Every structure is written in structure tokens, then in C-alpha cells.
Structure 1
Amino acid sequence: MASSRLAPAFRLPSLGTDYALYVEPPPPAPLTGRSSVAAPAPPWPVVLCLDGDDQFDALRAARADLASERALPPLLLVGIGYGASYQEPANRRGRDYTPVPIEGAPEGGGADAFLDFLVTRLWPELERRYPIDNYTRAVAGHSLGALFALHALFKPAPFFNRVLASAPSIWWGERALLRSVAELRAKQGALPARVFLGVGERDSRSMIEDLDLLEARLDAEPFAGLEIPRARFPRKNHFNSLAPGFRAGLAALFAPE
């Protein structure tokens, strides 16, 4: 069973999967004097949370914390999942979030098909249901979800221009992501976007070194217009870095221009 405290707002079938969509609109504005509470006026930018069954609550908590400090604009949070947690067969993250199949995971390599579904099926449905602002489109993920978010960014015409990548699994496919970055950089010099990169200091050495390598390459051959806020979280491992990663990432992605 999924662990999110919210029930899905709707479902959307595609790719042989019945995707579960969790939705939380912006919270009401804080009371000021005698003024009444009201939701911020739309349209709202969307933050799409991958692994929504298990991680949407962490994104909601991060937004609530930052909103209490008035550190965020109004955002529509959308979690996408499977109605099933990681270990259940209905959860297809190993297919949807990975760029290539690997030994032991032959179902991998569905990232491009999943990205096409997000762009051509999910986003029109969100536009139909909610007053969304398409100037800023954000995607947030942790581990394999972060790998997918980065895979979606390093495309010739990326759909998402805000990316929150917490503890990304860059190792997948013998670092296939790094090859994608190099290929894109050879074709174009500009990438107007903002990407947050974070990892716990007690994550595995390989996870930390892979992220260091990605950052070093982006610093050595930068894309014009690409902002890269980054963080390392003391005393946090691969699992408990999720909450601070989402909080720091949201704050960094939506900091004032």
C-alpha cells in the first residue's frame, strides 16, 4: 500500500500503469490583523513530486515549513505514483525513472517514454483541472527519482526548468547521465534553468563521488543560464537526507530572482 496520508485526487492510465496523482494546492495566506484567510490567487507553478506514494508527504512538509516563513511563492504540489510502495509489483519506478536497462533490471530504460507521458498526457490534464502557471515547471525526486529529474533536464529542449535532485542515482547504467550531459553540452552552450543538487554526507562514497563528478563537469564546462545551487547534509545518509533535501531544494529553486 502507498504511505501518503492523502488519497489520490485522480488516476491516469498509461504505459500499462494506472498512475495515482496526489494534489495539494497552495495553503491559505496567513492571517494579517482582521483580514480573512484566502488561498493565493492563481495561476500557480507546479512542483511534480516523483515517487509520490512514498515521498509526497515529505514535499508537503517542506512546503509547509517554508511557507510559514513566507519563503516560497504559492505552488501547486502534485505527486505522481502507482498506488503502491517501492517493494510492490505495481510500483514501476525501476522502469519509469531509468534511462537504460542494466543487468539485473531488464525492465529499466523507460525514462523517455515516461517523460513523454508527463508532457503529452499528464500536463494537459493538470491544465484542464487546475489554474497552473506554465512559465515555471518544477520536478522533484530523490534517488532514482532524482536521476529521472536530471535525465529530463539534460535534453535539447527540456520541459522542466526547475529541478530538485536529492541524492541522485547517477551510477545507473555506468553513469549514463554523465554521457547525456556531455552529449548535450557538445550540441548547445545554453540551458536556462535552475537545478538543486544535494546529498547526505553519510550516503555511500560512490553516491557522493558521482555527484561531485557531475558538479565538477558542470562547473568546468558550464551551460549559460544554468544555475546550480547545491548542498551537503551533515549526519544524513541516503534515506534520511530526503526531508532536508526537499526543504533546501524548494527554497533554492524558488528563491527570489
Structure 2
Amino acid sequence: MSRKLLALLALLTGLIGAASAQPANKPFVLANTQIVPVQSASTGKAHELVVVLPASYASNPGKTYPVLYFLDAYWDTPLLTATYGNLIYDNQVPEFIMVGLSYPSGFNYDVERRKDYTITAMDAGSGKADAFLHFITEEVAPLIESRFRGEKTGRIISGSSLGGLFAIAAAYKAPGFFSGHIAISPAAGWDKGALGKLDERYAKDHKTLNARMFISYGTAEYPGFREPIAAFQKQLAARHYQGLALQNYAMEGIDHASVKGDGYVRGLTWVFQPRKPADPSGLTRGMMQQD
């Protein structure tokens, strides 16, 4: 074998070895997660549920779990799964099932969420929240509770922006169905304050609103969006509804999209506070073992 051929083989071997040492390009998969397609009779269209099960789910076939129903799953599922893992490690919340509301590929998310999350119609592409809420209460929740062992008494609804508007409105439109409501920078100014008007109508005939509710906004958000949220926080706090445990929160220096991280940590901690595990956090356990 000639020296040139030997040199070429050595070069090719080196290149192949170097290539095999590089990390493989592979998709990142969220554990214990599945997508469930649903054709809704309530909305008349296709939806997808992103179902994230707790780590203990498979090994505890007789156990039921509280359920978080969260909007905008096509954007927020990675954030929620990471937040969940951190809160579980710190022992701030019990194990729970997460159910993200989403749409199949090809849907325009901005168009669909504007239609499904808004409580009044400002045009032909909005105001279908009642149908979407019926979809959740009459189709999604029964499916999760029968197929995935979700609890009927531990339901939480959450959302941001238009999703936050929907999450608060659900307390008035389906009283008692959800035990907790997380509204991060809710669109309280929608349709000239339709949310505040909904509360005013409800308050005329009701003194009770049974729920744990978290409402937040960022102080760096656009004033025209931020100020209606702060005004609604004050309005709701002044009602003193029996059964309502309300936490209003302002995030200093945070803008509209960035509020989700802190908002979900504080919101989930608040709504699950009555069920907070008694055991110490993961860090505390680790430090105790070293002592």
C-alpha cells in the first residue's frame, strides 16, 4: 500500500472519529407527556390537549391528582413543565396533572385564542369564551377525570393576557367548577372593561365567590394595558366576597411576555397553598443528609 493511500486512510479515519465524537442532533422530549386530539361539539372545531402526567402516575394506579388546565399550551408547555419540576423539588405544591389547551398544526394561534378566550364580541373574530368554557367543563374535564384520574375537586384554570381574562371570567361564569384561578397580566381592558362589568353584574346578586385567585401584572407593561389590571385588582379586593382568597401582585420592572415565569411560580404556589406538602424541600433534605 502506497504512502499516499495510507495517509488518506489515516485522514479519513481521523475525520470519522471526530464526527462520531460530536453530540447527536436529536429532539428534546418532555417526559410523561402526550397529545390527545379532541373534536369539540361545543366549539365545532378540532383541539389538542397536551397532557403532562406526574412522575408517580404509573406506579400509583389507584391515586387521583388535582389538575391544572392551562391556556396557550402551544407556547407555554415547556415553561410550565420546568416550573412544575422546580416547585415539586422545593415541595411547594403537590403532584398534579397538567392539561394544556392547544390546537392542531396549521391553526393560527393568535386568531383562535382571540376567538376562544374573549368574553364579549368586538367583531366576528371574538367573543366565543362561553363556548370554549363549555368545551373545558363538559368535554375536557370529564375526559381527564375518567381517562387520567384527575380530581373533580382540585381543578385549576390559568392563562396569560387574553388567557388571563378567560381564567378570571371562568370564576363568574362557572362558579365552583375550578378551585383556583391564575391570571397573569390579564387583558382587563378588553372591550372597554368588560371584565369589570362582569364583576359588577355578579356582585348585584352574589356575596360569595369560592376560589383561590392570583392576579398579576408587570410594572413595565404598556400603561394602557397595565392600568386596567391594577384597577380590577382593587375592584375585586374591595368586594370582600365570602370564600375568595385573593392575591394581587405586581412584578417590578417586568414587561408583558416576561411576567409568565415569576407569575406561574407565585400563582401555582398560591392556589395550591392549602395542599402544600409538609415534608422539607429537596435542598433541605440534601443538606440534612450531609449533617
Indicate the TM-score class for this superposition, using the shorter chain for normalisation: 0.7 to 0.9
- Output the aligned Cα RMSD: 2.4
Structure 2 counterparts to residues 1-257 of structure 1, below 5 A: 8-14=34-40, 15-28=43-56, 42-84=63-105, 88=108, 92-102=112-122, 105-155=123-173, 157-256=175-274
Distance 1:91 1:83 in 2: 13
| Offset of residue 38 of structure 1 | 5.4
Change (3 A) 1:26 1:91: farther
User: Alpha-carbon deviations, 1:155-182, whole Å to 9, x = none?
Assistant: 3634212000000001111111111101
CA contact (8 A) 1:82 1:90 kept: no
Q: For structure 2, which runs of at least 5 residues remain unmatched after alignment?
A: 1-27, 276-291
Counterpart amino acid of residue 12 in structure 1: V
TM-score by length of 1: 0.87
Which ranges of 4 or more aligned residues in structure 1 deviate by more than 3 Å? 4-8, 37-41
Q: In terms of Rg, which structure is larger?
A: 2
CA contact (8 A) 1:8 1:20 kept: no
Q: For structure 1, which runs of at least 5 residues remain unmatched after alignment?
A: 30-36
| Alignment match, 2:11 | none
Q: Larger % of helix: which?
A: 2
What is the SS of the residue equivalent to 1:228? strand
TM-score by length of 2: 0.78
Distance 2:143 2:208 in 1: 30
Number of aligned residue pairs: 244
Change (3 A) 1:238 1:40: farther
Distance 1:75 1:8 in 2: 15
Distance 2:109 2:51 in 1: 24
User: Alpha-carbon deviations, 1:24-69, whole Å to 9, x = none?
Assistant: 112349xxxxxxx956972101000101111122211211111110
Counterpart amino acid of residue 25 in structure 1: L
CA contact (8 A) 1:202 1:236 kept: yes
Distance 1:226 1:77 in 2: 23
